[in-house]
Chains A and B, each alone.
Chain A
Amino acid sequence: AQKITQTQPGMFVQEKEAVTLDCTYDTSDPSYGLFWYKQPSSGEMIFLIYQGSYDQQNATEGRYSLNFQKARKSANLVISASQLGDSAMYFCAMRSNRGSNYKLTFGKGTLLTVNP
């Protein structure tokens, strides 16, 4: 079974500063994918970044980067230069890349508040 743990229920950061949101995972699958999603109060889940378990380099997408430490089973999201619009819930998720079950398993989320 897959499990995602996000230990920070809430985080605060000053505008323009960087912030790291923690995510650890557990799986017995050798091949898997890790995702981060942002959910503003409107409810829509916005895809931010993806990391495959066999990817050699850490994923980056603009101000988002994923600090992937496979041995420690962690996939932390780093947001650089925070903006007020970054205030939202952030979810870490994973999916097995083996077999036929493509469901996403989500963590409980971290509520990020960016202060001016």
Chain B
Amino acid sequence: KAGVTQTPRYLIKTRGQQVTLSCSPISGHRSVSWYQQTPGQGLQFLFEYFSETQRNKGNFPGRFSGRQFSNSRSEMNVSTLELGDSALYLCASSLSRDRAYGYTFGSGTRLTVV
């Protein structure tokens, strides 16, 4: 069974540009969450989507946004990129929002802003 697929794996962007990252969850999974991982701040929650609705949002500026499509695939967008946005962006999917289920992560998209 296919895992969580994130594309692209690596991305280099220039300050001020915008970027869109994609996440395809495990088939049947309806919950998708996004996390940012940096050496300084560690892993931080960005947002969670369930059935095309944003359910929770972390403490990030409005430049960070996302959406989920009817097939559960999700995208996150970062506008007006800053050097500090360089990070590994991880997507996780879950079968449901049931507390007993764990999250399956993808391999991440490594974004470098120059």
Q: Are A43 and B33 in contact (CB under 8 A)?
A: no
Q: Are B56 and A100 in contact (CB under 8 A)?
A: yes
CB of B104 within 8 A of chain A? yes
CB of B26 within 8 A of chain A? no
- 90-116 of chain A: CB within 8 A of chain B: 91, 93, 95, 97, 100-109
Give the bracket for the number of chain B residues in contact with chain A: 20 to 34
CA distance A93 to B31 in the complex (A): 18
Q: Are B55 and A102 in contact (CB under 8 A)?
A: yes
Chain A residues, Cβ within 8 Å of B106: 44
Chain A residues, Cβ within 8 Å of B97: 102
Q: Which of A50, A97, A101, A109 contacts B102 (CB 8 A)?
A: A50
- 31-90 of chain A: CB within 8 A of chain B: 31, 33, 35, 37, 42-47, 50, 52
Known: A102-B31, A103-B33. A45 touches B42 (CB 8 A): no
Chain B CB within 10 A, most for which of A43, A93, A97: A43
Chain B residues, Cβ within 8 Å of A52: 99-100
What sequence of 0s and 1s flags, for each residue 10-50 of chain B, a beta carbon within 8 Å of any chain A beta carbon? 00000000000000000000010101000000110100100
| Closest beta carbon of chain A to B99's beta carbon, Å | 4
Chain A CB within 10 A, most for which of B35, B48, B88, B103: B103
Q: Are A43 and B42 in contact (CB under 8 A)?
A: no
| Closest beta carbon of chain A to B52's beta carbon, Å | 16
Known: A43-B110, A44-B108, A103-B58. A97 touches B99 (CB 8 A): yes
Chain A residues, Cβ within 8 Å of B103: 35, 47, 104
Can you report 21 residue pairs joining A to B where beta carbons are below 8 Å apart? A33-B99, A35-B102, A35-B103, A43-B107, A43-B110, A44-B108, A45-B92, A47-B102, A47-B104, A47-B105, A50-B102, A93-B43, A95-B99, A97-B99, A101-B56, A102-B31, A102-B99, A104-B33, A104-B103, A105-B45, A106-B42
Chain A interface residues toward B at CB < 8 A: 31, 33, 35, 37, 42-47, 50, 52, 91, 93, 95, 97, 100-109
